[in-house]
Every structure is written in structure tokens, then in C-alpha cells.
Amino acid sequence: MTHAEIGCRLMALGLDVLVEKPIAHSLEAARELVETAERTGKILEVGHLERFNPAVIALSSVVTKPLFFEIHRLSEFSPRSLDVDVVLDLMIHDIDIVLSLTGETPEEIRAAGISILTPKVDIANVRLQFPGGCVANLTASRVSTERVRKLRLFQPHEYISLDYTRKDAARFRVGPDMAIQFAPLTVTKDEPLRLELEQFFESMISRQPPRVTGAQALAALETAFAILDKIELHSRRVAKAVEGGV
């Protein structure tokens, strides 16, 4: 809850800032950070670490026209980060990546989520529809029996399967003879955190925008909060239906 307070103060003092994801605890605070960066001319980078995953970097270089995403981010239960919903804790990574790859803001959001072990939403399923026709299905859970971090992207004439944990990806295409052709995506192995910090330093020196700008992180946060609103609406409908059936 101190991201905006500290970040804005540092930028006002003339310092560039790298802030952890999500950019802030509220849209108002996030906008304050973005506006302060614009006003002071300081670099504001947000630590959406998966954008620096070598497999995601490789995927970004071959994306043409995203048509459909299927993404699963599942974790075993852990006592950390239980003060936030799974959407802001885990799914925010994938929201940011989908927005960056489509270059669009979703025009329709459908979502459902439930609380299982905490008062917050522990598992959520979301459908995002974009103006260009792309659809993204996202599932995030922190009460799974296994750890899964996978993204599948479909675009004209090919399908790409990415594993965040292994930091690799495979590309499937239909050949001239209508046979399926398979090839690993060329991925330069590296450590995401090191890449993130190096890129932040490069932005400070070059004064060029970082890979994950404050505006992009704000867009991801806006979508995340819109998803939580839809989950709340769905939960009220379910509760009303249960009460009516009693």
C-alpha cells in the first residue's frame, strides 16, 4: 500500500523507480504513480517479472495475430500473499502478458471465482474478448495439488505452447502436405530477474521507456479490478440462486 507514496516521493526527488507488481493497491494510487513519472520525466518500471522470462521474450518475437489464448497458472497453497485475491497475486502476470501481445484492451469480461481456504478469491476463471476478435481464457488457483505455469497461443496457421517454469516453448504448424510440423522455439536461456534489473539500468542510461511501463501496468491493474468486479457480480448471483432454492 506504500508503492505510490514512496514511488512518487522518490521521483519528485529526481530518482528513477522500479516498483514491484501490481503497480499499486488501487487505481487511484497507480494513476498517481504514472502521472508523477510523466510530470517529472523519470523512469517508472513495474516488476512484471514474467515479461522477462526468456520463453515469453521468444514468444513476443514470433507473435503475428493472436486469435486465442489458454493460460493456466496454478499453485499449491502457501500462507504468503493471502491478503490479496488470486487475480492480483497470480493472474496479474498473465493479464499483463495478454494485453502486451494483443495490444488491445478487452471489450468484454466474463469471470467467476470462489474462496476456499481464505476470505479472498482463491481460484478464478476468466474470459477476455478483444476488439480484434481474440479471446483469452485464464485460470489462476492457489489451492491446486500441483504447480502449473503454461500458456497456449493460437494464431493463423500455428499453435505455440509455452511453459513458464521450464522457460521453453514449442511451435506447431500445418505444412503444405497438411501434416503437423513441430519445432522448439529458439529461447536464449537467462535469469528473468537479472534481465529485469539490467533493462531497468539500461532505461536509466538511455532514457528510453522500460519494457513494462507504468501505463502498461496500470492497464493490467484496470483489467484485474474489472475482473474482480465481475467475480463479485457472479458471486452475488450464485448466492441469490442458492437462497432462492432453499
What confidence tens digit (pLDDT) does each residue in 143-164 have? 888 999 999 999 998 999 999 9
- Is there a domain that residue 245 lies in? no
Local structure of 232: helix, strand or coil: helix
Tell me how many helices (H) and strands (E) the chain has: 7, 10
Considering the chain, what is the average pLDDT of its residues? 92
Distance CA 153, CA 67 (A): 8
The one-letter code for the residue type at 3 is H
- Is there a domain that residue 243 lies in? no
- Is there a domain that residue 156 lies in? yes
Asked if residue 39 has pLDDT above 60, the reply is: yes
On whether the CB atoms of residues 59 and 65 are closer than 8 A, the answer is no
- Answer with the residue of higher pLDDT: 84 or 184: 184
Lowest mean pLDDT among 138-147, 203-212, 237-246: 237-246
- Is there a domain that residue 171 lies in? yes
Asked if residue 246 has pLDDT above 60, the reply is: no
Distance CA 171, CA 208 (A): 32
Distance CA 137, CA 130 (A): 12
Distance CA 199, CA 52 (A): 9
Q: What's the structural domain count of the chain?
A: 1
Domain that holds residue 217: 3-238
What confidence tens digit (pLDDT) does each residue in 74-119 have? 998 877 766 789 999 999 999 999 999 999 999 999 999 998 888 8
- Is there a domain that residue 28 lies in? yes
Q: What CATH number is given to the structural domain containing 197? A: 3.30.360.10
- Is there a domain that residue 78 lies in? yes
pLDDT bucket at 179, cuts 50 / 70 / 90:
confident
The one-letter code for the residue type at 121 is V
- Is there a domain that residue 24 lies in? yes
Helix (H) or strand (E) holding 48: none
On whether the CB atoms of residues 130 and 104 are closer than 8 A, the answer is yes
